[in-house]
Amino acid sequence: MSARPIGGTLTAGLILLALGVIFLVENFYASFSAFRILARYWPVIFIIIGLRRLYDYFAWPEVPPLPDKVASKE
């Protein structure tokens, strides 16, 4: 397991993927309006980001602090 959180990268990737799918569907179906959906449901993006941050906060294991090398020599 890596020592760096990847929550922001994952969230950004999912948002870009969802926007790409929405605009692709808009190109195939003329009656479908991505802007109408985005104008109505844009707060869901903030909810998803917030839930992801909460999950990362509670699920991320705590890393014990590194021992101080100067204190251990004394």
Look up the domain containing 53 and give its range. 7-62
Residue 45 covered by a domain:
yes
Residue 16 covered by a domain:
yes
Q: How many domains does the chain have?
A: 1
pLDDT at position 13 is: 80
pLDDT at position 45 is: 80
pLDDT at position 2 is: 52
Provide the token pair at 38.
């985005």
Q: What is the mean pLDDT of each run of 10 residues along the chain (74 residues)?
A: 60 81 81 80 82 80 71 54
pLDDT at position 12 is: 78
pLDDT at position 4 is: 57
pTM for this predicted structure: 0.45
Residue 17 covered by a domain:
yes
Residue 1 covered by a domain:
no
Residue 23 covered by a domain:
yes
Residue 71 covered by a domain:
no
